[in-house]
Structure 1
Amino acid sequence: MTARTAFFAAAASIAVFGALFLTLRPDADALARILVDQCGIRSARGAVSEPCLKVDQDQGYAVLRDRKGSHHYLLLPTLSISGVEDASLLEPTTPNYFWWAWQNRHHVSAQEPNLSDADISLAVNSRYGRSQNHLHIHIACISPDVRATLDRLEFNSHRWQRISDGLLPHDYWIRKTDPREFREKGPFQILADEFPVDAEAMGRFGTAVVKARDGDFLLLATRVSLIDLNLASAGELQDQDCRSGQSEAGSPG
C-alpha cells in the first residue's frame, strides 16, 4: 500500500468513526445544563447538588463528580467556554483552569490513602476527541504504565520534545514546567506560544499534566492525526480505576 493510499484509507476511517461518534455520543450540552441545574450558575438561589460538589464564583469554576466513578472528577469554567479551541482561553484575564484543577486534586486523593501527587493527572481532550461542548478538565489518576514510562524517560527539559516510542500508542510531546510557570502562564498559553498555534488550531490538541518526581510538572500534548487514527483524547493517559492507589504502598514523590 502506498503512502497516499494509506493516508486516504485512514482519512476514510476517521470520517466513518466521526460520523458514528456524532450519532451515538451523549448529549453534548449535558455538562452545561448541570452547571445551571446542579451548580446553581446563573440562578438566584445558587444551590449546589450532586454531581456538582463545589462552585468558586471568585475564580470562575465548578467541580463535578464524573459519572465514570469515585476516582474521576471534572473542573468546568462557570463561563461559557466550548473547549480548547475557544480563543478566550488565551486572554490574560481568563483564569488558569489547569492550575485550579490541580488545587482540587484532593477530591481524587481522598478516595485512596496510598495516593501521592505523582499518581494524579489532569487532562483535556481535543475538539475531536470529546463528547461535550463545554470545556472540562479531567482530574483522575495517571495510568501506572504511563507513570512508569515517564519515570524511565527522566525528562528534564523545558523545551518540547517528541516521545519517540509514543504513549498508548499515540505520539506525544513532552515539556517540563516549574510550579511558578504552571501557575502564572498555564498549559494552554505555553502550548499556543511554543508550537505555535492559533486558537482554532488549539482545537486539534489534547493536553495533560502530571507531577514530576522532583516537584516540577510534566506537560504532555498530542495532536489529531488521520494516519494514526488519533483523535487527541489525552484522557487516554488516565486510569479510571486508580490502580496506583490500590497498591500496598503509594508512589513516592
Structure 2
Amino acid sequence: MTVFRRVTALAVSFLPLLFAPAFADSEVLWKIVHDKCVVQTAPCLSVNTAEHYAILKDLRGIAQVLLIPTDKITGIESAALLDPATHNFFADAWSEHGDVDARLPRAVPRDGLSLAVNAQQARSQNQLHIHVDCLSAEAQAALKADADHIGTDWAPLPDTVAGHQFTALRVKGETLGDFNPFLALAKTLKDPAKEMGDHNLVVVGANFADGPGFIVLTDVARPSMGGEDVQDHSCTIMH
C-alpha cells in the first residue's frame, strides 16, 4: 500500500468518529493524537515532539487545521495552561499557518488569519485544540475598522464581531513571541482556575498603522457561541 493510501485509510477510519454527534465521544481528538499521530504521524500532518503538539487537518472546511497538544490538556480550563513553563501553543499555531496557506490559491493575508479556542461549554472535544483558519469577511471588516483604536490594555470593542461583544487588546510584532494569550487572559480574572473555562479566546493577525501585530479577543461564552464563530471554514475572503 502506498503512503498516500495508508494516510487516506487512516483518515477515513476516523470519519465516523469525527462526524458523530458531539456527545458520542468527546475524546476523539485525544485518541487520534495519542494513539496514532505520536506513533506514526498519520493521520496528522505533522508532530512537533519538542513543542509537544500535532497538526491535524480538520474534516470541516477547505483549509482549516487544528493544533492539538500531544499531552493531555482538556481545554482552556486546564491548570496546565496557567503554568508559564507550558508551551505557548498560540505562538506555535501561528507559526504553522503555512498548512492553511498550502490548501488555498495563495497565502491568507495577515489580517485574514485567525486562531480560535472555544470555551468549555462551546466545544465538543475534551482535548485542547486551536482552530487555525480564515477569518470571516464580516469579522475581518469589523476588526479592520477598529484595529487602530485597540490599545495594549484590555477594553471592550465598540462593535460586535460574529455576534460576540469581545474585549480586545493589541500585541505588536510579526510573531507572538513570548506573549501567551492564555496567561494574558488569566491575569484579568479573579479566580483563573474557576473562570478560564467560561471564556472564548481568539487571536487574529493585524496590520496596524505602526506595523504588524495581533488582536486578541475574549468574551464569556453564551450557549453555543464559541470563539470559532469568527472563522469562515469556506475561506470566502480568498475567493
Both proteins in one fold, TM over 0.5: yes
Q: Distance in 2 between matches of 1:101 and 1:213?
A: 19
Which stretch of structure 1 is more off in the superposition, 115-124 or 53-62? 115-124
Q: Distance in 2 between matches of 1:90 and 1:179?
A: 23
Alignment pair present for 1:222 and 2:219: yes
Alignment pair present for 1:139 and 2:139: no
- Picking from 174, 185, 199, the partner of 2:179 is 185
Assess if the C-alpha contact under 8 Å between 1:26 and 1:131 holds in 2.
no
Q: Distance in 2 between matches of 1:142 and 1:34?
A: 26
Alignment pair present for 1:61 and 2:53: yes
Secondary structure of the equivalent of 1:123?
A: strand
In structure 2, the partner of 1:111 is: 103
Secondary structure of the equivalent of 1:166?
A: coil
Name the Cα RMSD after superposition. Answer: 1.8
- Superposed displacement of residue 117, structure 1: 2.1
Is the alpha carbon distance of 1:184 and 1:196 closer, same or farther for their aligned partners in structure 2, counting shifts above 3 Å? farther
Alignment pair present for 1:194 and 2:188: yes
Alignment pair present for 1:158 and 2:156: no
Q: Distance in 2 between matches of 1:212 and 1:122?
A: 12
**1:175-194: CA deviations, max 9, x gaps?**
10123893213100001113
Alignment pair present for 1:88 and 2:85: no
Assess if the C-alpha contact under 8 Å between 1:204 and 1:232 holds in 2.
no
Is there any run of 5+ residues in structure 1 with no aligned partner, and where? 1-22, 247-253
Normalized against structure 1, the TM-score is what? 0.79
Q: Distance in 2 between matches of 1:130 and 1:165?
A: 25
Alignment pair present for 1:49 and 2:42: yes
Q: Distance in 2 between matches of 1:83 and 1:233?
A: 13
Is the alpha carbon distance of 1:59 and 1:127 closer, same or farther for their aligned partners in structure 2, counting shifts above 3 Å? same
In structure 2, the partner of 1:4 is: none
Which stretch of structure 1 is more off in the superposition, 62-71 or 136-145? 62-71
Is there any run of 5+ residues in structure 2 with no aligned partner, and where? 1-20
Q: Distance in 2 between matches of 1:217 and 1:99?
A: 11
Q: Distance in 1 between matches of 2:78 and 2:89?
A: 13
- Superposed displacement of residue 213, structure 1: 1.1
Q: Distance in 2 between matches of 1:62 and 1:171?
A: 31
Normalized against structure 2, the TM-score is what? 0.84
Q: Distance in 1 between matches of 2:183 and 2:224?
A: 21
Alignment pair present for 1:174 and 2:168: yes
In structure 1, the partner of 2:26 is: 28
| Seq. identity, % | 31
Q: Distance in 2 between matches of 1:100 and 1:71?
A: 17
Q: Distance in 2 between matches of 1:165 and 1:59?
A: 36
Which structure has the larger Rg over C-alpha atoms? 1
Q: Distance in 1 between matches of 2:176 and 2:227?
A: 18
Alignment pair present for 1:76 and 2:68: yes
